[in-house]
Amino acid sequence: MLHKTVSMTCIGEIDEGLYSRQLYVVGHEAMRRMGAASVLIAGLRGLGVEIAKNVILCGVKSVTVQDEGQTVWADLSSQFFLKEQNLGQNRATCSLQQLSALNPHVLVSAHTGPLSEDLLLQFQVVVLTDSSLDDQKRFGEFCHSHGIKFIVADTKGLCGQLFCDFGEEFTVLDRDGEMPMSAMIQSITKENPGVVFCVDEQKHGFSDGTKVVFSEVQGMTELNSVGPVEIKAHGPYSFSIGDTSAFSEYERGGVVTEVKQPFVVKFKPLSDALLDLELLKMNDYGKVSRHHTLHLAFQALHNFVKKEQRLPRPWSESDADALLDTVRELNAVAQLEQLDEAAVRNLSYTAQGDLAPMNAVIGGFAAHEIVKACSGKFTPLQQWLYFDALECLPEEEHQLTDGLGTRYDGQIAVFGSAFQEKLERQKYFLVGAGAIGCELLKNFALIGLGAGEEGQITVTDMDFIERSNLNRQFLFRSQDIGKPKSEIAAKAAREMNPQMQITAHQNRLDPDSEGVYDYNFFMGLDGAAAALDNVEARVYLDGLCVKHQKALLEGGTLGSKGHTLVVVPHLTESYGQDKSSSKNAFPLCTLKNFPHRIEHTLQWARDQFEGLFKQTPENVNLFLSDAGFVERTLAHGDAEALEVLGGVWSSLTDLNGGGQRPTSWEDCVSWARCKWETLYNNDICQLLHCFPPDQVTSTGLPFWSGSKRCPHPLTFDPNNVSSEDKEKQSGDAGKSKLEELKAKLASPSLKVSAKQMYPIDFEKDDDTNFHMDYVVAASNLRAENYDIPAADRHQSKGIAGRIIPAIATTTAAVAGLMCLELYKLVQGHKKISSYRTAYVNLAVQYFVMSQPSRPLQFKVSYGSAAVLQPFLLTVSYYSVGLVSALVTAVNFLCSSDAPGSPFISRRSSPAVCKRDQRLHMCLLKFAEQKHNTQ
């Protein structure tokens, strides 16, 4: 027995730079609990290494991978850390170095001996993959009795299985990981039960039984000291609480906040759970019968392997018959009303298959359950989950051939050699090499997409690798920081599969790159995949695919949530247009005068940063380099001109001249002191002068009520400032008239001593630049003005930096689901029922697969030319507004001015050929207008 351990840096304090995005998913406390957990993963074929990769990236204390087997050709179909030179060597030891390199904070070990009870006792979580049912029962019983969390994960071809047992009692500290809901109070009645009415700008979101606490209530102050109160929802804006009749009269204000309650979950050991069909988690309700059947079929499969010492042969009818007989025997006890015999046969036909996308899906799910087991965060699976993608199989009868000792044997066992050759000829365009992009490239390499002489993968990403990427973009290592994502990701994919034909670009996909990604480029593609982090880029790529009639795979994640979409020309709807009405969700008046949430003060602080350190310096540089800048600015209106030109003048004139340009460190301190006084005292005093605290509206109601918090000015403590600092007025830039300011800017001497400024782009992830320090301080000071609870740096960074929460588990699962749809696209599935749109939330085991929507269809009749009667053109496309564009195009073709005299002759004349070409181009123009019509 070989037991090899690689020493790594032990985790102490949380490495926020590395786990930045994940911390917004699990939180600091859950992260600390994970950092104390040791995990054993038994079996290191494709599924085992997928789980190990995800768990190591997530940051537990230690991971031990156990495997007694040697590498064979079929392993290369899905085990991304094994290479051809590893054939005949132990899978665990061959993978150890690359697993260790994923996260320096995780101790990674390899165990090549058999599993034993003594070994299991060293771990808080034990995961079995590629295991026998006997081992599952034996070790499951042992773990259950010793308080060890126990997970079984398995994939066979296009079917997967997951089982969890976290013991007799397992405490869930946070059901879903969402931020506690809160609402602002409009009024509270004094009765039994008291009724709370919330401000009607946003639904409170509470349900019956939710427990809440009150704060900042004025008048009925007794509520502020009451512990969590259980509520009964009356509607979206009101709910009742206990008896308030003895409390003081409610006056104004107050916030009600949800208090999350822990709860206990009970589990059965695997032996008992096998007999309890109610423990099956049914997420795809269209497959209830199938998944009940698969519960028996997997047990029958274990019996088959135990008896025959092998899995059923690919597409063997006799083996399928034998497996089905065993399932029927098991059903004599289970008493299922309906057996899905076709599913049993397909499981038998494909059981030898080992598919990277299936392992990615089940591996992502299983790793997220490990996160739950280690942290107490999220709701665990109770207790069985089955997943299948049998709709990936060919729609028509087919003839399959066996593998011939290649790296794709695990895939050929399911789809055959001809399909493998087709995969290798594919030409695909991957946009984005971040988290999902890395996972897609891994899957592409393993399945052999574009790995033939005629194949090609083009990947583009304009970004460079940062340290915060390493937690989930697993193709990158610390030595790659600062290098282009696309190049490093392409290199890593080629290392997994040396046959990969892959080209890396660093272009942003937008109108500026149309010279590269033009008609000829897209017409040479078989499809595209979107691995993007913003809606605008998705919409743009979707438009290009619609225009050029190319299939699109699209996926995205938000913490534990994920979605996938497949777009098949003329069969499914497209991604569509950006429905968001505004990038800034907060009204300007709220940010400027009436903030009531920390999000408002953080956006205000971010705007302050942009104005002071980016926009004003940019305006100064324009003034110095562009003679027409002042006149153009004046044309924008007096208010904007005063603000812009005043900022330019103040930035070019030193404090002695009445401006704000510092010439020394003391000047910088003085500028900051004056800015503080303006923002947190003078501006607030001015607002209260216009709207005093006792102001009432025309209807007699208090002005400062509901979402309008009455502010108070802050007083600067001089003890915190050096006695040498002097307050200086900021000059009369804000008071001068526009003509006076224009005259000052016209002075030739102003530009003589002026210097170019260096605008700063807000960068949230560099802790040495003090950008976040400024935003946090500015936001919390303004929050103090309005009695809004302050936010810590981590919370502020997430909000102000608009950070998208991310975790490796969800990313892996989403990429796997996208690649299952890729199988269907490459085969050319014609039935919309074969395709799936997926929505998942791994935090609560919400997993829904649905059939994509069809595109809207229109029949457009053209009667302007007799030759077109009764010609009907059926438009099966993506947007209603495009019809008018097509009408214009066809009417042009029908006009006497159109060369080629369209639709006059049906013979293959040169005119008809030219007509057809013009019709093609008009159809492209028709599609191109997608984003300009609705």
Q: How far is CA 594 from CA 607, 776, 785, 787, 800, in A?
A: 15, 19, 11, 12, 18
Residue 634 is predicted with a pLDDT of 84
Q: What angle do CA 233, 237, 241 make, to 5 degrees?
A: 40
Q: Which residues pair with 872 in a beta bridge?
A: 861
User: Tokens 């399959």 correspond to what residue?
Assistant: 400
The token pair at 841 is 């939330």
Q: How far is CA 449 from the centre of its chain?
A: 24
Please state the pTM of the whole predicted model. 0.84
Strand order in the sheet with 107-111: 3-6, 107-111, 62-66, 38-42, 125-129, 149-156, 159-165, 384-388, 280-281
Q: What is the mean pLDDT of residues 320-340?
A: 92
Instruction: Let me know: does 709 contact 253? Beta carbons within 8 Å.
Output: yes
Q: pLDDT per residue over 291-302, tens digit each?
A: 999 999 999 999
Q: Which of 894, 824, 811, 893 is nearest to 852 (CA)?
A: 824
Q: What percent of the chain has pLDDT over 70?
A: 86
Give the SS3 label for residue 150. strand
User: Tokens 């709207």 correspond to what residue?
Assistant: 691
**At a CB cut-off of 8 Å and minimum separation 6, what does 743 contact?**
none
Distance (Å, rounded) from C-alpha 193 to C-alpha 774? 46
Q: What is the mean pLDDT of residues 426-454?
A: 95
What does the DSSP 8-state code read for residue 929?
Answer: G
**Sorting pLDDT into bands at 50, 70 and 90, what band is 858?**
low
Residue 398 is predicted with a pLDDT of 63
**Sorting pLDDT into bands at 50, 70 and 90, what band is 724?**
very low
Q: pLDDT per residue over 522-545, tens digit each?
A: 999 999 999 998 888 899 999 999
Q: Which of 592, 415, 586, 426 is nearest to 501 (CA)?
A: 426
**At a CB cut-off of 8 Å and minimum separation 6, what does 661 contact?**
650, 651, 652, 653, 654, 655
* DSSP structure string for 739-787: HHHHHHHT-HHHHHS----------SS-TTS-HHHHHHHHHHHHHHHTT
Q: What percent of the chain has pLDDT over 90?
A: 54
Instruction: Let me know: does 453 contact 466? Beta carbons within 8 Å.
Output: no
pLDDT above 50 (res 595): yes
Q: What angle do CA 143, 144, 148 make, to 5 degrees?
A: 50
Residue 531 is predicted with a pLDDT of 94
Which of 170-179, 477-486, 621-630, 687-696 has the lowest average pLDDT?
621-630
Q: Which of 10, 58, 392, 589 is catalytic?
A: 589
Distance (Å, rounded) from C-alpha 832 to C-alpha 224? 56
Count Cβ neighbours within 10 Å for each residue of 695-734 and write b for 16 or more, e otherwise: eeeeeeebebbbbbbbbeebeeeeeeeeeeeeeeebbebe
Q: What is the mean pLDDT of residues 304-327?
A: 94
pLDDT above 80 (res 730): no
Distance (Å, rounded) from C-alpha 295 to C-alpha 161? 8
Which of 191-195, 224-228, 855-859, 864-868 has the lowest average pLDDT?
864-868
Distance (Å, rounded) from C-alpha 329 to C-alpha 339? 12
Residue 861 is predicted with a pLDDT of 52
Sign of the Cα pseudo-torsion (303, 306, 307, 311, in order): positive
With 0-12 CB in 10 A as exposed, 13-18 as middle and 19+ as buried, what is 69?
Answer: middle
User: Which backbone phi and psi does 71 adopt, to 5 degrees?
Assistant: -65, 130
pLDDT above 70 (res 722): no
Distance (Å, rounded) from C-alpha 387 to C-alpha 332? 24
Radius of gyration of the CA atoms of the chain, in A: 32
Phi-psi category of 250—alpha, beta or left, where left has phi over 0 and alpha has psi -120 to 50?
beta
Distance (Å, rounded) from C-alpha 211 to C-alpha 209? 6
Count Cβ neighbours within 10 Å for each residue of 238-259 and write b for 16 or more, e otherwise: bbbbeebeebeebebbbbbebe
Instruction: Let me know: does 66 contact 108? Beta carbons within 8 Å.
Output: no
With 0-12 CB in 10 A as exposed, 13-18 as middle and 19+ as buried, what is 227?
Answer: exposed
Residue 709 is predicted with a pLDDT of 86
Residue 719 is predicted with a pLDDT of 65
With 0-12 CB in 10 A as exposed, 13-18 as middle and 19+ as buried, what is 139?
Answer: buried
User: Which backbone phi and psi does 628 adopt, to 5 degrees?
Assistant: -95, 5
User: Tokens 């998705």 correspond to what residue?
Assistant: 538
**Residues recorded for the chain:** 934
**At a CB cut-off of 8 Å and minimum separation 6, what does 514 contact?**
none
Distance (Å, rounded) from C-alpha 225 to C-alpha 284? 45
Q: Which domains does the chain have, with CATH numbers?
A: 19-172+267-388 (3.40.50.720), 182-259 (2.40.30.180), 416-580+821-852 (3.40.50.720), 596-787 (1.10.10.2660)
**At a CB cut-off of 8 Å and minimum separation 6, what does 55 contact?**
39, 41, 63, 367, 370, 371
pLDDT above 90 (res 924): no
**Number of other CB atoms surrounding residue 602 within 10 Å:** 28
Give the SS3 label for residue 840. strand
**Number of other CB atoms surrounding residue 333 within 10 Å:** 8
User: Tokens 């051809």 correspond to what residue?
Assistant: 84
* DSSP structure string for 545-611: HHHHT-EEEEEEEETTEEEEEEE-TTTS--------S-S--S-HHHHHT---SHHHHHHHHHHHHHI
Q: What is the mean pLDDT of residues 819-836?
A: 94
Q: pLDDT per residue over 170-203, tens digit each?
A: 999 999 998 888 888 888 999 999 899 888 777 8
Which of 246-250, 510-514, 760-764, 872-876 has the lowest average pLDDT?
872-876
Higher local confidence (pLDDT), 477 or 216:
477
Pairing between β-strand 527-530 and β-strand 502-505 as defined by DSSP bridges: unpaired
Distance (Å, rounded) from C-alpha 20 to C-alpha 28? 10
Q: What angle do CA 353, 356, 360 make, to 5 degrees?
A: 125
Residue 872 is predicted with a pLDDT of 38
Please report, in angstroms and rounded to a whole number, the separation of the first and last CA atoms in the chain: 67
What does the DSSP 8-state code read for residue 272?
Answer: H
Distance (Å, rounded) from C-alpha 913 to C-alpha 904? 12
Residue 159 is predicted with a pLDDT of 96
**Sorting pLDDT into bands at 50, 70 and 90, what band is 910?**
very low
Sign of the Cα pseudo-torsion (882, 885, 890, 891, in order): positive
* Mean pLDDT of the residues in the chain: 85
Q: pLDDT per residue over 40-91, tens digit each?
A: 999 999 999 999 999 999 999 999 999 999 999 989 999 999 999 999 999 9
pLDDT above 60 (res 879): no
Return the top range by mean pLDDT from 9-18, 117-126, 718-727. Answer: 117-126
Instruction: Let me know: does 525 contact 514? Beta carbons within 8 Å.
Output: no
- 819 a catalytic residue: no
Q: pLDDT per residue over 640-684, tens digit each?
A: 888 888 888 888 888 888 888 888 898 888 888 888 999 999 999
